[in-house]
Homo-oligomer: A and B are copies of this chain.
Amino acid sequence: MGIPVKITVIGAGSATFSMGLVKDLCLTENLAGSHVTFMDIDEARLERIHRLAERYITELGGKITFDRTTDLAQSLQDADFVINTAGGEYGSMEERIDLARKHGYYAGAPFGVNYYNLNLMLNVAREIERVCPNAWLIQSGNRVYEGTTLMARETNVKVIGLCHGHYGCINVANVLGIDPDKVTWVAPGVNHTIWLTEFRYEGQDAYPILDEWIATKAEAYWQERADHPEKYGLEDQMSRAVIDMYRRFGLLPIGDTTRGGGWWYKADLETRLHWYGPTGGFLSEVHIGPFLKRHYERIEEIRQVAEDASRSVLEAFPPVKTREQQVPIIDALTNDVPGTFQINRPNEGVIPGIPDDIATEFPAVIDKGGIHPIKMAPLPKKIMLEVINPMVNKAEWELEAFLTGDYDLLLDGLMMIDTFQSGGHTVSYEQAKAYLDDFLAQPYNQDMAAHFKRREPSWAGVLARKAK
């Protein structure tokens, strides 16, 4: 028996995430007796997850207790761990994508839109500093990269950023037909741009297995997925784009990294279909429909279970541990059950060539003594030049925009930043300006528009800024 803790879940209305957490907690003997406070601003969703969790624990016979609140400060009272999975609110993804398409862009929002998520994260971190300064903050919602960087700079909160992307390594093993449990891998970088630097199968370098697969089986694999898209997921860890990135960089990109590679993979739908497979990759015209459909179906399914007290919650959420790292990390930090985890933290020398105060993603041993990062070898120079360095500057640019409210940093960013992850690039000044202004004029964007007020040329203003 371990030590019970108090865990606060911010944005708990996301039932898939919260129910996964409840399952993992119930199945972790060491954390029996722990208490979970669900917090969300959406009362209906909050009430639903609370009810589901209570029914789950009753059916399973576990020893976790729950309560709920819509008040952030109250939710943080006495918290040992805060898991933030909330996202900023600013219209629906459909609305944003329609607007982007109208202006000739692929991506769902212009540069700087992380304003909402960054604002929310920083507010939560500051409130933790005030209410429960010793709590660990486990950041589990986007954007982990910029957000972890920002919170670590602006507050003293102990923050860990988590993402699922690195599990793409398991998909790699499955596609290659080797047992994932016999594979050793390391995939560091910055969140959403990580690279398979170590890849062994039964202790031997497994890159030759990948090369063999590319030479003899990749074409058939891509053909099969094109012929029978209904049999496969919406995205592909082993698409042509991924293998082309491997050719360019010498290392395989993992997880969300596979969505990037350069704007030219995304020039038009035909190009996307070639590089990313039959859905054209993340947020393409073909991908977006099924992607949102799956998302809403999952929400509806959970709603139905929640509203039908006669249904078994255990059946809807079979009691098998997820692959999420939150609960094992809580166990490691609380009960000294050591483990190696893929986390995001300020780099502080872990990956050579990245500034200390930029959050990077890397493996770390975690135990009651805290976080013990495993020092990484340098990434290939080409990855630093084409991917990481521009991503570092992009984060600095975005955080400066966020902190200053400078409209020009948004507009110039939209025009100048073509990172590895970009959804397509700007053709003209007029296009960028019209898109940004139209976006800021949307009713759901009043907050952001107020923050990034357009400053017309004003020489007095210029001097005032310069004097700072």
CA distance A389 to B397 in the complex (A): 10
Do A207 and B393 contact each other (CB < 8 Å), given the known contacts A412-B248, A416-B386? no
Enumerate chain B residues within 8 angstroms of A380, measured Cβ to Cβ: 466
- Chain B residues with CB below 8 A from A393, complex form: 385, 389-390, 393
Instruction: State whether the Cβ of A317 lies closer than 8 Å to any Cβ in chain B.
Output: no
Tell me if A429 and B264 are in contact (CB < 8 A).
Answer: yes
- The minimal Cβ–Cβ distance linking A280 to chain B, given in whole angstroms, is 16
Task: Report yes or no: B207 in contact with A262, Cβ–Cβ below 8 A.
Answer: no
Q: Within residues 398 to 424 of chain A, which ones have a CB less than 8 A from any CB in chain B?
A: 400, 406, 408-409, 412, 415-416, 418
CB distance from A295 to the nearest CB of B (A): 32
Task: Tell me whether A264 and B463 are in contact in the complex, defined as CB-CB below 8 angstroms, given that A397-B385, A418-B418 are known contacts.
Answer: no
Decide if A250 is an interface residue (CB 8 Å cutoff): yes
Question: A94 within 8 Å of B by Cβ?
Answer: no
- Interface size on A, as a range, is 35 or more
Interface mask (A282-313 → B, CB under 8 Å = 1, otherwise 0): 00000000000000000000000000000000
Q: Are A416 and B247 in contact (CB under 8 A)?
A: no
Q: Is the CB of A207 within 8 A of B466?
A: yes
- Report yes or no: A211 in contact with B463, Cβ–Cβ below 8 A: yes
Q: A337 near B: Cβ within 8 Å? A: no
Q: Please pick, from B211, B262, B418, the residue contacting A459 in the complex, using a CB distance under 8 A.
A: B211
Residues of B within 8 A of A457 (CB): 244, 247
Residues A400 and B412 in contact in the complex (CB < 8 Å), given A393-B393, A466-B250: no
Q: Are A262 and B415 in contact (CB under 8 A)?
A: yes
CB-CB under 8 A for A459 and B409, given A381-B400, A386-B416: no
- A residues 205-250 in Cβ contact with B at 8 Å: 207-208, 211, 214-215, 244, 246-248, 250
Question: A434 CA to B299 CA in the complex, in Å?
Answer: 48
Query: Does A102 count as interface, using CB distance less than 8 angstroms?
Result: no
Q: Known contacts being A386-B416, A415-B262, is A428 close to B248, with CB within 8 Å?
A: no
Looking at chain A's contact residues, the main secondary structure is helix
With a CB–CB cut-off of 8 A, which chain B residues contact A466?
Answer: 207, 250-251, 380
User: How many copies of this kind of chain does the complex include?
Assistant: 2
A441 beta carbon closer than 8 Å to chain B: no
Contacts of A248 in B (CB 8 A): 408, 412
Say yes or no for A267: interface residue by CB 8 A criterion: yes
With CB as the reference atom, state the residue of chain B lying closest to A419.
B416
Considering only residues 44-60 of chain A, those with a C-beta below 8 Å from chain B are none
A267–chain B nearest beta-carbon distance, Å: 6
Residue among B211, B418, B432, B465 making CB contact with A416, cutoff 8 Å: B418
Give the chain B neighbours of A406 by CB distance below 8 A: 382
Q: Which B residues are in CB contact (< 8 Å) with A244?
A: 457
Q: Assuming the A-B contacts A211-B462, A250-B466, A466-B250, are A396 and B400 also in contact, with contact meaning beta carbons closer than 8 angstroms in the complex?
A: no
Chain B residues within an 8 Å CB radius of A432: 264
Q: A207-B466, A264-B432 are in contact. List 12 more A-B contacts (CB 8 A).
A: A247-B462, A262-B415, A263-B415, A264-B415, A264-B429, A267-B428, A382-B400, A382-B406, A386-B416, A389-B396, A416-B418, A425-B425
23 A-B pairs (CB sep. < 8 Å): A207-B463, A208-B463, A211-B460, A214-B459, A215-B459, A246-B462, A247-B459, A247-B462, A248-B408, A248-B412, A250-B462, A250-B465, A263-B415, A264-B428, A267-B429, A382-B406, A385-B396, A385-B409, A386-B412, A386-B416, A390-B390, A390-B416, A416-B418
The 5 closest A-B pairs by CB, nearest first: A264-B429, A211-B459, A250-B466, A389-B393, A385-B397
